[in-house]
A and B are shown apart, each in its own frame.
Chain A
Amino acid sequence: MTFPTMLQTMGSGMLKTILLFVLTLAGSIPLGMVVVFLKKSKFKPIAWITEIYIAIMRGTPLMLQLLVWYFGPYYIFGLSIRGYKFPALLIGFIMNYAAYFAEIYRSGIDSMPVGQYEAAEILGYSKVRTFFKIILPQVIKRILPAITNEVITLVKDTSLASALAYAEVFSLAKQISASQTSFLPFVVAGVFYFVANYVVAGIMKRIEKSMQYYK
């Protein structure tokens, strides 16, 4: 296998990695917000269930969770899992990352001084308006560094999809390396992850900078 062919083959894996990364973020960032609201619910059973969910997501390996999401439907319900690999991966990643994002959001929301809520209440802002206009913008600024950490981790965690033999960069690198007895695919994969994270970090830095106009 020539180097260009190898790059080409791995290129398709890179696209799959990027797709998994983007869809996971698109799902877990909003879902995390929903999870926070459920956890803060005044209806206790919902708050408890949410807490258990977060505990499981954070307390067990993501790789194990992916296997459960993928094979669970077959072993538990006897359903066919043909063509179900990518949806299973997405569910697994989104559910896991939503739990982490939820905890980051919660820490940000809890760090807001009560005076902001009180000032908004006195001025007549509704609860919903207070949250979206006054609280959330400040929370986003506060949690951005933690979010950056999580997003960078996700870039690397996409390699766990290899547990389901999903043909993303890492799986392909392993495969090609074995078949060609070459070390080169690992170098290519390494450079890919590094560059991807360099870009992610750059984007996040820009967003952080755009919020530096106030303290």
Chain B
Amino acid sequence: MGDEILRMSNIHKVFDALTVLQDINLSVHHGEVVSIIGPSGSGKSTLLRCATFLEKIDGGEIVYMGKTAAYTENSGKIVYAGKAQMKEIKHYFGLVFQQFNLFPHYSVLKNVMDAPVTVLGRDKKEVEAEARVLLGKMGLADKADSYPCNLSGGQQQRVAIARALAMKPEVLFFDEPTSALDPELTIEVLKIIRQLAEEKMTMVIVTHEMSFARAVSNRVIFMDGGVIVEEGDPEDVFGNPQQERTKQFLKSYKE
């Protein structure tokens, strides 16, 4: 296994009085593809949102590339890293949303280029060349000048993947990337993710696409009720689940 990119330890998350994450431990290594499956409300999306700091944790520790992003003091207080370190840490990951969240007023090319240019301060020409290569890889070379509103959902999601990749993250998170797409469009997006997996892109994918998760990932995590119920090699988890709850969940997909 490669170097550890992300380590989340003993993560707790509470919404009002409801515990949504309980004592979660997740470690992601370089080149790994981890799928997180589980019923709605099991906490898998919340886990991604905590990992990407869209939600604050209520307990535990988050470490990226050996740098501590958040930890819990003995008093129970959560301490996040300072602004400068946080900025650095945020460049280690990207996130692809269920609803794409492209910037509608920017062309496809600008959606991909803008963050590397304005946030990272990189050379425009260089970034544009890279962005066009990325769009080509996504099968969208001819859409560079289109606007998101003129693209299908599948195309929009592929632009969103290109936008995330343009920042050259160490790990890419996917939050149900195909849940807003019909089966045909789902296939085009999954094809891209599979291609990234072959290129050893480190990815954590929250998904309801079971056969895809089984085929593409090195490790599968089954979550329910805010805890990790079962975790392991996809062939083991899907082919021979140990926990009753996992069996029950997977059965509902086969029917």
Identity of the chain B residue whose Cβ is nearest the Cβ of A125 in the assembled complex: B119
| Chain A hits for B102, CB < 8 A | 119
| Chain A hits for B91, CB < 8 A | 124
Kindly state the separation between the CA atoms of A107 and B105 in the bound complex, as whole angstroms.
19
Are the C-beta atoms of A124 and B119 separated by less than 8 Å? Answer: yes
**With known contacts A115-B101, A215-B104, A121–B54 Cβ distance under 8 A:** yes
**With known contacts A118-B54, A124-B90, A124-B167, A214–B105 Cβ distance under 8 A:** yes
| Chain A hits for B218, CB < 8 A | none
Question: What distance in Å separates the Cβ of B183 from its nearest Cβ neighbour in chain A?
Answer: 23
Kindly state the separation between the CA atoms of A215 and B115 in the bound complex, as whole angstroms.
21
Kindly state the separation between the CA atoms of A120 and B99 in the bound complex, as whole angstroms.
14
* Interface membership of A12, Cβ < 8 A: no
Kindly state the separation between the CA atoms of A116 and B105 in the bound complex, as whole angstroms.
11
Are the C-beta atoms of A123 and B104 separated by less than 8 Å? Answer: no
Give the size range of A's interface with the partner: 20 to 34
* Interface membership of A213, Cβ < 8 A: yes
**With known contacts A122-B95, A214-B149, A129–B101 Cβ distance under 8 A:** no
* Interface membership of B94, Cβ < 8 A: yes
**Which one of A118, A133, A214 contacts B101 once the chains associate, using CB atoms below 8 Å?**
A118
* Interface membership of A137, Cβ < 8 A: yes
**With known contacts A118-B54, A214-B148, A124–B105 Cβ distance under 8 A:** no
Are the C-beta atoms of A119 and B119 separated by less than 8 Å? Answer: no
* Interface membership of B240, Cβ < 8 A: no
* Interface membership of B212, Cβ < 8 A: no
| Chain B hits for A138, CB < 8 A | 104-105
Interface residues in B, total, Cβ within 8 A: 27
Are the C-beta atoms of A124 and B104 separated by less than 8 Å? Answer: no
| Chain A hits for B115, CB < 8 A | 123-125
B63-105 vs A, Cβ < 8 Å mask (1 yes, 0 no): 0000000000000000000000001001101110101011111
* Interface membership of B22, Cβ < 8 A: no
Are the C-beta atoms of B99 and A115 separated by less than 8 Å? Answer: yes
Are the C-beta atoms of A118 and B97 separated by less than 8 Å? Answer: yes
* Interface membership of B252, Cβ < 8 A: no
Residues of A93-117 at the interface with B, using a CB-CB cut-off of 8 Å, are: 113, 115-116
Question: What distance in Å separates the Cβ of B78 from its nearest Cβ neighbour in chain A?
Answer: 18
Kindly state the separation between the CA atoms of A123 and B99 in the bound complex, as whole angstroms.
16
A172-215 vs B, Cβ < 8 Å mask (1 yes, 0 no): 00000000000000000000000000000000000000000111
* Interface membership of A40, Cβ < 8 A: no
Kindly state the separation between the CA atoms of A119 and B147 in the bound complex, as whole angstroms.
17
Identity of the chain A residue whose Cβ is nearest the Cβ of B167 in the assembled complex: A123
| Chain A hits for B132, CB < 8 A | none
| Chain B hits for A141, CB < 8 A | 105
* Interface membership of B118, Cβ < 8 A: yes
| Chain B hits for A125, CB < 8 A | 115, 118-119
Kindly state the separation between the CA atoms of A115 and B54 in the bound complex, as whole angstroms.
11
Interface residues of B, Cβ cutoff 8 Å to A: 52-54, 87, 90-91, 93-95, 97, 99, 101-105, 114-115, 118-120, 147-149, 163-164, 167
List 18 interface pairs A-B (beta carbons < 8 Å), by A numbering.
Answer: A119-B102, A120-B103, A122-B90, A122-B93, A123-B94, A123-B119, A124-B120, A125-B118, A125-B119, A129-B119, A133-B114, A133-B118, A134-B103, A138-B104, A138-B105, A214-B105, A214-B147, A215-B104
